[in-house]
Structure 1
Amino acid sequence: MTNFPAAAPADARIGALADVAVLMPAFNGQADVERTLASFEEDAPVYALIVDDGSTPPIVTPSVPGMRIEMLRMAQNGGIERALEAGVQALAARGFRYAARIDSGDLAAPQRLAKQRARMEAEPRLAALGTWTQVVNRAGAPLFMLRPAADARTLRRTRMLRSPLVHPSVMLRIDAVLAVGNYRVQYPAAEDLDLFLRLMERYDCANLPELGLYYELNEGGISATKRRRQITSTLRLQARYLNVLNWRDWAGIGKSLLHFVTPYGALQRMKRALFARGT
């Protein structure tokens, strides 16, 4: 495993990305990994850590111009929760301050990293900063836009009603993630919501109100293949963090129960109809 030197002091690299790392877990899908990493368009070199979660055959480290890529291989497939936990620990050991999440198959909008880093540098209370997201199908055709609220206060009020951040669009402050216990395995397939809720107890989370990610809706992804597990974990989190005086929390529980009994295909058609109208 390659060791990179610690990042230079912040005032020596204003505008650069020396303290930012792209964090991408991957299980199989070599072509998707390569396509995702090649999508980054930044004015500074980009470092990426791929966490190969027991792929067979192992993912080969791609060569992408303007990008330094390191591979962290898990001994066996243990799930995205363990892969992300190991990835954050590895980035902290290498001296990075920010981890920019993305999943294989998704594409980054130009200058996403620079914009997110600039905002987080300007607002030290931010522990997580997402972006608006264009959802596309496997062919790249647009389906609908995800436009979560931009400000921390609104996200706290609506965190149970609607996912506060689109996980693969998020840039995380690594020290804050470690301070709240890193990614965990207690809530399978809802590791992102678990982390966001813990971060919101001590820090702010927000979204850039502009396109930062093209999210590929994959019928074989976690949301499809582990849907019941994901909804069960979400309901457990909603019960744990329930504010009985906030009607949005109760509405969020109702929404999760509806998802539990609604077929996946029907749910996706409902989302397309709702988000197409900008709701």
Structure 2
Amino acid sequence: MPKIDVIMPVRNGEKYIARAISSLVPDAEFINKLIVINDGSNDRTASILSDLRWNGRLQIIHQPPLGIVRALNGGLNAAETALVARMDADDVSLPGRLKAQIACLERSPKVAAVGSQVLLIDADGFPTGDTSNFPLTSREVRRQLYEHGRCVVSHPSVVMRKDAVLACGAYRAPFEHAEDFDLWLRLSERHPIENLADVFVHHRVHAKAVSEQFRSRQSFSRDLALYAARERARSGTDPCDGLSGIPNFEELMSRTGEHGTIMQDLGTAYHAIDAIFEKRRAAMTVAAARAISALAKERYLGQSRRNRYALLRKAAWTSLMDLHFRTAFATYSAFVQCRVADSKFFRRMLESSRPGEARPRRA
């Protein structure tokens, strides 16, 4: 059975990194090299890493705070093996994980990546009671990613083929904090991606997690990635090819050309949503309300129906508090329209009106 390299980026991970690394010890026989990328930590992470005792090859890369995308791509470039595993510095890997995933990829040479189910734990390591139910087959993984916009592959649980990841462009800076979702969309266009049925990672949920600290940017990056994927399928071109770094919302608000409308709406909507997420007082403009409503109707807002509804309600409430009654009414009307369009009764009516035409389920 081949050995693999493990890529672990970290920034200010003093509280959990020792536990994360020690959780890999039971699978050390399958690890060629553990690559830890210290992305500009200003706590005790560097000293913990320098004192670390690891019964194998350890490569520590210290870099300024360049972001998760640069850290991950640096880890990929440093990897020596054909298969690479991901691991987060605040999660726990369970014994048998790497053996099972390597065996899966050995049995299925066309599969480019395999993840696993995850159990959510709190900041102290206690189970929250939530366990993932990610789809197992590549067909269902692709459908959930592309049609529903759901990230059904847990990034820190994955083992993947390095060449396949590099060939599709690796991680991309414009999708910071949803870089994994963008990668799975592009990778699944070329190769199957699967999940194992077993729980092999304890995924920690805490206040300093990316999903908690950067909710607005993560939601924006997810929507941008999904839009880019659907445009690639429609026209064969990627509207984000000209973006070399993390786009600011004002940059997209002035975007023109073939992809200008959606890009402008994304920039305008998230310029307002960012203030809502950060609890800053900011007037909800008519343009922002219209953009949020348009994106919600096209299923480009939020990762699920619940997220979309929450964003629409927040936008309507913010407008109401600012005494922008017309804007509040327009946004709440969009919320009602989305609820109606998402209802089972409405979908059944559409399906019955077009016999023989398969209609995708709403996200």
Quote the residue 1:155 is aligned against: 141
Alignment of 1:96-115 (within 5 A): 96-115=81-100
Residue matched to 1:56: 42
State the distance in 2 between where 1:255 and 1:222 align: 20
Question: What is the Cα deviation at residue 253 of structure 1?
Answer: 6.2
Counterpart residue type for residue 236 of structure 1:
L
Among 127, 140, 144, the alignment partner of 2:125 is: 140
> After superposition, where does 1:79-228 map in structure 2 within 5 Å?
79-91=67-79, 95-143=80-128, 144-159=130-145, 160-228=148-216
Contact 2:39-2:67 at 8 Å conserved across structures = yes
Partners in 2 of 1:256 and 1:27 — Cα distance? 28
Which runs of 5 or more structure 2 residues have no equivalent in the other structure?
235-297, 315-363
Q: What is the distance in 2 between the residues matched to 1:80 and 1:259?
A: 28
Residues 234 and 256 in structure 1, CA contact (< 8 A), matched pair in contact too: no
Give the equivalent residue in structure 2 for 1:274: none
Q: Is the radius of gyration larger for structure 1 or structure 2?
A: 2
2: CA distance, partners of 1:180 / 1:161 = 19
1:179, distance to aligned residue in structure 2 (A)? 0.3
Structure 1 contact 16–44 (Cα < 8 Å) conserved: no
Change (3 A) 1:112 1:48: same
TM superposition score normalised by structure 2: 0.61
- State the aligned residue count: 239
Contact 2:39 2:68 in 1 (8 A): yes
Instruction: Tell me which residue corresponds to 1:73.
Output: 62
**Per-residue deviation at 1:139?**
1.4
Identity %: 28
Cα distance in structure 2, aligned partners of 1:161 and 1:235: 8
Shift of 1:257: 2.6
- Tell me, yes or no, if the aligned pair for 2:82 and 2:162 is still in contact at 8 Å: yes
Unaligned 5+ segments in structure 1 are 1-14, 264-279
SS in 1 for 2:29: coil
Give distance in 1, aligned partners of 2:311 and 2:177: 14
State the alpha-carbon separation in 1 of the partners of residues 216 and 35 from structure 2: 30
Secondary structure of 2:152 counterpart:
coil
- 1:49 Cα deviation from its structure 2 partner: 0.3
The aligned counterpart of 2:250 is none
Structure-2 separation of matches of 1:49 and 1:170: 15
Whole-Å Cα distance in 2 between the matches of residues 226 and 176 of structure 1? 29
User: TM-score normalised to the size of structure 1?
Assistant: 0.79
Q: Please tell me the root mean square deviation across aligned C-alpha atoms, in Å.
A: 2.3
Q: Which of the two has greater strand per residue?
A: 1
CA contact (8 A) 2:150 2:304 kept: no
Amino acid at match of 2:59: E
- Amino acid in the other structure paired with 2:114: L
2:308 is equivalent to residue 257 of structure 1:
yes
- Decide whether aligned partners of structure 1 residues 171 and 63 sit closer, same or farther in structure 2, where only a CA change above 3 A counts: same
C-alpha contact 1:53 1:83 (8 A) present in aligned 2:
yes
Question: Post-superposition shift, 1:97?
Answer: 1.0
Task: Give yes or no for contact 1:133–1:146 (8 Å, CA) kept in 2.
Answer: yes
Q: 1:29 aligns with which of 7, 13, 16?
A: 13
1 CA distance for matches of 2:30 and 2:183? 28
Higher helix share: 2
SS at match of 1:202: coil
Matched, 1:237 2:222: no
Tell which has more relative contact order, 1 or 2 (C-alpha 8 A, sep 6+).
1
The one-letter amino acid of 1:234's match is R
**Structure 2 CA distance for aligned equivalents of residues 116 and 86 of structure 1:** 23
CA drift of 1:260 comes to 4.2
